[in-house]
Amino acid sequence: MAMADITVRGAGVFGLAIAWACLLRGASVQVIDPAGPGAGASGGIVGALAPHVPENWNDKKAFQLDSLLMAEDFWRGVSEASGRSPGYARTGRLQPLPEGGAELAGARGQGAETLWQGRAAWRVESASDFAHPPATDDGRVIHDTLTARVHPAQACAALSAAIIARGGKIAATGADAGHVLWATGAADLALLNAAHHRQVGAAIKGQAALLDFAMPDQPQIFAGGVHIVPHEDGTTAVGSTTEREFGSLATDAQLGDVIAAARAALPALEGAPVIQRWSGLRPRARSRAPMLGAHPLHSGQFIANGGFKIGFGMAPKVGDVMARLMLEAEDLIPDGFRPDASM
């Protein structure tokens, strides 16, 4: 491969999505990560691509909506190029209707009609309409049709294979060439924190589990504070914790609490064997929005960080706007996503 137009440092979902978007625009791309693709937070097992509530609209929610609506074409292209499934499907989500929550849910449904551009719905339905509904007080659930899922580790593997099939390079080491983008997650946030007078971002530990329970075409569930995400391979993921303070990256009793909460929310999971336990550090910027644009520490270079819990949902549009910025000098980044917003 000739000298790269784009060097991406970091092979999590942000780095890989940006590399893919640049390749689709005809650029030559190299991705460098000593640990390999999906080795950090992006190599997880949950993969809930869940929208924000359709109310109190802002740039972050609008950006996420665009990305969620782009996702089907994005992941289809990745699958076709790689010959591998990222586990994507827009299967929707169920949440138990809270006591006294029908009026608010109705108002949010009206908001979805407008804010979601008529392309997805938020409505109250009978739990009995679904094969595996969550436990409810009155037999009703909130059903949104925008939520989707991927299998994170499989999605990173598919993106990596697509990049290579398109002529990109993925390596453990290499010299910078062309425009350089840093998508190194928690490690880069630590360097930014050290260089500034206040915390720019933090690594948040998350724990999740994979259960041997098949309901691959059913909506995912958010109940009892946990996500329950059915995957196409016949497993169901549950997670996750949000740990700001932690002494170890090992899974522990807090994951046991997550599994118990998931089983209480969906009794059908009772007795399903746990086949994998996972923990990782997810990068959260102080603004709680992705951090995109000019890198604060590396003059003339770029950053994409802070995906936290919404990185996979944001990735299609993050890839698009960063490719446009680096290759075409077209700046479509919302002000709240710029690094300055976290400093």
The predicted pLDDT at position 2 comes to 67
Residue-wise pLDDT tens digits, 96-143: 999 999 999 999 999 999 999 999 999 999 999 999 999 999 999 999
Is pLDDT at 246 greater than 80 in this prediction?
Answer: yes
Looking at the chain, the number of H-run helices and the number of E-run strands are 7, 16
The predicted pLDDT at position 1 comes to 47
Write out the two tokens for 38: 């999906």
Q: How far apart are CA 55 and CA 167, in angstroms?
A: 42
287: amino acid identity, one letter? S
Report yes or no: 213 and 236 within 8 Å, Cβ to Cβ: yes
The percentage of residues in the chain with a pLDDT greater than 90, rounded to a whole number, is 98
Report yes or no: 108 and 57 within 8 Å, Cβ to Cβ: no
Residue-wise pLDDT tens digits, 206-221: 999 999 999 999 999 9
Report yes or no: 186 and 203 within 8 Å, Cβ to Cβ: yes
Q: Which helix (H) or strand (E) holds 37?
A: none
Distance from first CA to last CA of the chain, Å, rounded?
38
Model confidence band, residue 343 (pLDDT cutoffs 50, 70, 90)? confident
Report yes or no: 80 and 143 within 8 Å, Cβ to Cβ: no
Any bridge partners for residue 227, and if so which? Answer: 222, 239
Q: Once rounded to an integer, what is the mean pLDDT over residues 45-59?
A: 96
Say which CATH topology domain 6-90+147-198+286-342 has.
Answer: FAD/NAD(P)-binding domain (3.50.50)
Residue-wise pLDDT tens digits, 154-205: 999 999 999 999 999 999 999 999 999 999 999 999 999 999 988 999 999 9
Q: Once rounded to an integer, what is the mean pLDDT over residues 302-313?
A: 97
The predicted pLDDT at position 29 comes to 98
Mean pLDDT value across the chain: 97
- What is the domain partition of the chain in residue ranges? 6-90+147-198+286-342
Residue-wise pLDDT tens digits, 70-93: 999 999 999 999 999 999 999 999
- Phi, psi angle pair for 292, to nearest 5°: -130, 140
Model confidence band, residue 290 (pLDDT cutoffs 50, 70, 90)? very high
Is pLDDT at 56 greater than 60 in this prediction?
Answer: yes
